[in-house]
Structure 1
Amino acid sequence: MYEQLRRAEPTVKQILQRLDMAGEDMARDQVHRGLGILADMDEWTARLEPDAPTLPGDQFHPWVWERAAPLWDAEARQDAVLAAARTVNRRLQQKLGRHDIGETGLCMQAFDMKDPFAGKPRLRFDGDRNTPTWRARQDGAKYLAAGAFLAPRNVAAHEDAVPWTEQEALEHLATLSVLARLIEECTVERAT
């Protein structure tokens, strides 16, 4: 309450100054304007902030948000990121039928451009594999996937307490969401 009064003080002073300088009708108008200003200050603050995009967590890939949401609601950000990463890894393992290798190695192999061989299938994007764009997507997915597990997942799993802000943890979840979408988009190519 004291903070609100302190914030309103300049406006109240302006109202009082104008009351001293103006006639009765003008003073009444100024008081009404002043009261309007006081009533709308919070709305002005909210509406005059920069209009920037936000990352609504409930729009992340379901593999990520369904596992993270209960932990996020409990303000357990580190656990939310770890749970989401584990789910993405589990889905990648299931899609490839591989449970014999850690997530980083699996990502590097899954998106590798080499031909698949027995027991080591690959994930492939649709499109012409001879184009620079296709090759860039394949390589980009490989390194993004490995990085998602090396950076946020390993930190979340091996540190007692990670001092991530809400924004930082949300960005890690967003990275995992992008990865989940890439994994889901790809088809599995097995050795013939």
Structure 2
Amino acid sequence: MDRDWMRQQLEAFIDLAKRYEAEKRPGDFIGDENLYAQLHRSEPTVKQVLRLLDPAIAEKIDIDQMAGVAMACNEVQRGLGILADKDEWATRLVPDAPTLAADRFHPWVWEPAAPLWAAEARQDSVLAAARTVNRRLQQKLNRHDIGETDLCLQTFDLKDPVAGKPRLRFPGDRNTPTWRARQEGAKYLAAGVFLAIRNVAAHEDEVSWTEQEALEHLATLSVLARWVEECDAESAP
């Protein structure tokens, strides 16, 4: 919307209405006919502008009714108030958004990331967190023979563990679709974390992550860390 043009139309109408009312003699139903005609020409545009701001205000505009010009002037003033404050409403009247406290991330993530984050080394902080989560996963399964992506794919796989390849299992009833979906979801999210976040942090000279993006990467690693800690390691008989 062209708000400057909208404001000009409303202000011009008010100016015209004030001139009309000022020249109207007591007892006259209609004042200066030329000004009255100009008000009629302006009325459709003013009503259209007001419909975009508040349809209820626009419906009150009818300069042909008793005291219609004065009433229209009042409603247009309301429209100007809406127009002036509309941007403020958009920023100041929205519900408060929740905040994400980085120091509440899983300790495997925030403890290695915190000193680097304080030094504004976001990429290094994400990489340090990813490496720590990977080490914890390796330690829990006692596996140091494959890369982190393959390890994640094997770790959460639905197949039974085999010798040298233990699995991580979420608690709960393993016969339900929800449990199986959770295992499968963790399998691919965990692999994706290392492919799409850890590898980028490790192999790109410099990434242009914003603070928000880097926090979101740490939050994703925190989710994975909680899953790894929550799950039970299950080895072959």
Same fold per TM (> 0.5)? yes
Separation in 2 of the partners of 1:57 and 1:49?
24
Query: Partner residue of 2:192?
Result: 147
CA offset digits 1:89-137 (Å, max 9, x no partner): 0000000000000000000000000000000000001111110000011
Q: 1:140 to 1:75 in 2, by over 3 A?
A: same
Separation in 2 of the partners of 1:75 and 1:64?
16
Separation in 1 of the partners of 2:95 and 2:149?
38
Is residue 2:165 matched to residue 1:113? no
Letter in 1 for 2:160: D
- 1:55 Cα shift? 1.1
Question: Which structure 2 residue ranges, 5 or more long, are not aligned?
Answer: 1-90
Separation in 2 of the partners of 1:108 and 1:81?
21
Letter in 2 for 1:110: T
CA offset digits 1:46-67 (Å, max 9, x no partner): 9756511111100000000000
Is residue 2:190 matched to residue 1:190? no
RMSD over equivalenced CA pairs, Å? 1.7
Letter in 2 for 1:81: V
CA offset digits 1:136-156 (Å, max 9, x no partner): 110011011001100110000
Is residue 2:144 matched to residue 1:131? no
State percent identity of aligned pairs: 82
Match of 1:123, SS state, is strand
Question: Which structure 1 residue ranges, 5 or more long, are not aligned?
Answer: 1-45
Match of 2:168, SS state, is strand
Separation in 2 of the partners of 1:86 and 1:143?
18
Match of 2:207, SS state, is coil
Q: 1:76 to 1:50 in 2, by over 3 A?
A: farther
Separation in 1 of the partners of 2:191 and 2:175?
24
Query: Partner residue of 1:63?
Result: 108
Query: Partner residue of 1:180?
Result: 225
Separation in 2 of the partners of 1:88 and 1:49?
37
Letter in 1 for 2:216: E
* Match runs of 1:6-17 below 5 Å: none
Separation in 1 of the partners of 2:158 and 2:165?
12
User: Runs ≥4 in structure 1, deviation > 6 angstroms?
Assistant: none
CA offset digits 1:30-51 (Å, max 9, x no partner): xxxxxxxxxxxxxxxx975651
- Structure 2 length-normalised TM: 0.61
**Residue from 119, 123, 131 that aligns with 1:74:** 119
Is residue 2:220 matched to residue 1:156? no
* Match runs of 1:22-101 below 5 Å: 50-101=95-146
Separation in 1 of the partners of 2:208 and 2:117?
15
* Count of residues in Structure 1 that have an aligned counterpart in Structure 2: 149
Separation in 2 of the partners of 1:156 and 1:48?
38
Decide which structure has the larger Cα Rg and report it.
2
Q: 1:58 to 1:47 in 2, by over 3 A?
A: farther
Q: Which of 1 and 2 has higher RCO (CA within 8 Å, sep 6+)? A: 1
Separation in 2 of the partners of 1:47 and 1:180?
36
